[in-house]
Amino acid sequence: MGRRFLDRFLRPVLMRLVQPLLVALIVGALGFALMAVLPGDQAFRLAAARYGPDMGDAAAAALVRQELGLDRPWAVQFLDWVGRLVRLDLGHSLVTGEPVLQELTMQLGYTLALAGVALPLSALLGLPLGLLAGLQPGGPVDRIMLGLSVLLRAVPAYALGLCLVTVFSIHFGWLPPAGFEGWREFVLPALTLALGLAALSARVARDSVAVVAASPFMAFARWKGLPERAVVLRHGLRNAAIPVIALLGLQLVGLVEGLVIVESLFSWPGIGHALVHAIFARDVPVVQGTALALGLIFVLVNALVDLACALIDPRRARAET
């Protein structure tokens, strides 16, 4: 009883509300700790970031120290730090001195554009193949698809990207290997990202279609006398879509990871690339801002996926197995 209540009702509702705060808390705590372990005086660093490297003298540092209350107990400072994070006051980059929020909005656009191309592309590549394979489990399409999916999922994303660059940019010279001027620059990063995601979605679509196609409710729908079109559209599609949509949540983890890798590989000016660069440069405010942005996108889209699942599947309030 208690467990069902916990799983069915309390947890999903509570978590949806708490998760963004949790993300802010975790990212904030790690960012705060990172700032504290950086060598040198924090006030100097922040002053340099704010007023430019030439102006980072003792007076400026004292001003910053007083303004940010860096002499207060660390617990108070931490709460203050997280509080500012929750209000989306992300501070300034230690490297460029620009406000992090401003940089983020620009990078976010690039990242969303890349994801916006890659996700539909992966659906276009993976779902039809999975559908065909699932209609004839054990058939030739199924076996080829299974082999491809297993092989593709074992290739590291960076190696896949490098292969594509080698073939399409270096060998054939069709597409630019990096940059972000026009649609041609989209092709290789998006394809790298999409292939990895498609390998998984094809498998899930295949299993889901195979299960639904063999299910007694599809047989009964035919026995009722419904025309095949109605059988597939009214009964097959929705039931087969449930696991595929639930998978989107899982895909999201892959998408965020893939974005970091692919953006770094192709020097794509998005959030993932910025995060990796900021870690190199130990630019804590940027690390924190980009991680927060990626985390919040993740939470938001996850919530949307759950909502979609609950809408088409009356059996569960959320996508939980």
Partner 1 sequence: MRTLAPGRRLGLLLIVSLLGFGLLGPWLAGTDPAHQILAHSLAPPGADYWLGADHLGRSMLARLAHATRLSLMLAAVTVASAAIPGTLLGILAAWRGGWVEGGLVLVADAVLALPGLLLVLLLAAFAPGEFLPLYLGLALAGWVEYFRVARAMASGLLARPHVEAARLLGFGPGYVLWRLLLPGLLPTLGVLAAFGLGSAVLAISTLSFIGLGIHPPTAELGSMTTELLPYAYEAPLTVLMPAALVFMAVLGCHLLAGRGRA
Partner 2 sequence: MNAVLTFVGLQVTSADGTALVRGVDAEARPGQPLTLLGETGSGKSLVLAAAMGSLAPGLRARGRVMLDRTEMLSATHSARRALWGRRLATLPQEPWLALDPTMRALGQVAEVYRLVRGMPAAASELEARARLAELGLGASAAHYPFQLSGGMAQRLALAILRASETPVLLADEPTKGLDADRRDEAGARLRAEADRGHTVVCVTHDVAIARALGGEVAVMLEGRVVERGPAETVLQHPSHGYTRRLLEAEPARWPALPPRPAPRREVAVAAEGVRRSFGRRLVLRGIDLCVLRGEIVAVTGPSGCGKTTLGDVLLGLLRPDAGVVRRLSGVAPWRFGKLYQDPPSAFAPHQTMRQALRDVARRHGLSWAAIAALLERLRLGPLLLDRRPEALSGGELQRFALARVLALDPVFLFADEPTSRLDPITQGEVSTLLGELAAERGLAVLLVTHDAALAAKLADRVVQLRPCGAEC
Say which residues have a Cβ less than 8 Å from residue 101's Cβ, sequence separation at least 6: 88, 89, 90, 289
45 or 60, CB closer to partner 1? 45
Binder among 172, 183, 223, 280 for partner 2 (CB under 8 A) = 223
Find the binding residues for partner 2 in span 64-123 (CB under 8 A): none
Site string for partner 2, 237-276 (x = CB under 8 A): -xx--x----------------------------------
CA distance 102 to 89: 11
Q: How far is the CB of 147 from partner 2 (least distance, A)?
A: 24
As a three-state string, the secondary structure of the chain is CHHHHHHHHHHHHHHHHHHHHHHHHHHHHHHHHHHHHCCCCHHHHHHHHHHCHHHCCHHHHHHHHHHHCCCCCHHHHHHHHHHHHHCCCCCECCCCCCEHHHHHHHHHHHHHHHHHHHHHHHHHHHHHHHHHHHHCCCCHHHHHHHHHHHHHHHCCHHHHHHHHHHHHHHHCCCCCCCCCCCHHHHHHHHHHHHHHHHHHHHHHHHHHHHHHHCCHHHHHHHHCCCCHHHHHHHHHHHHHHHHHHHHHHHHHHHHHHHHHHHHHHCCCCCHHHHHHHHHHHCCHHHHHHHHHHHHHHHHHHHHHHHHHHHHHCCCCCCCCC
Site string for partner 2, 34-73 (x = CB under 8 A): ----------------------------------------
212 or 287, CB closer to partner 1? 287
Site string for partner 2, 278-317 (x = CB under 8 A): ----------------------------------xxxx--
80 near partner 1, judged by CB under 8 A:
no
Amino acid letter at 62? A
Stretch that binds partner 2, among 27-35, 93-101, 211-219, 245-253 (CB under 8 A): 211-219
27 near partner 1, judged by CB under 8 A:
yes
Residue whose C-alpha is closest to residue 193's, from 127, 130, 121: 121
120 or 147, CB closer to partner 1? 147
The encoded tokens of residue 309 equal 């699942």
73 or 216, CB closer to partner 2? 216
Q: How far is the CB of 7 from partner 2 (least distance, A)?
A: 16
Q: Are 171 and 232 in contact (CB under 8 A)?
A: no
Stretch that binds partner 1, among 107-115, 119-127, 201-209, 311-319 (CB under 8 A): 201-209
Q: Are 112 and 268 in contact (CB under 8 A)?
A: no
315 near partner 1, judged by CB under 8 A:
no
Which partner from the list partner 2, partner 1, none does 311 bind, CB cut-off 5 to 8 Å by kind?
Answer: none
Stretch that binds partner 2, among 27-35, 85-93, 115-123, 226-234 (CB under 8 A): 226-234
153 or 224, CB closer to partner 2? 224
Binder among 190, 221, 252, 309 for partner 1 (CB under 8 A) = 252
Query: Which residues here bind partner 1, judged by CB under 8 A?
Result: 2-3, 6, 11, 15, 19, 22-23, 26-27, 30-31, 33-34, 37, 146, 150-151, 153-159, 162, 166, 200, 203-204, 207, 247, 252-253, 256-257, 260-261, 264-265, 275-276, 279-280, 282, 287, 291, 294-295, 298-299, 321
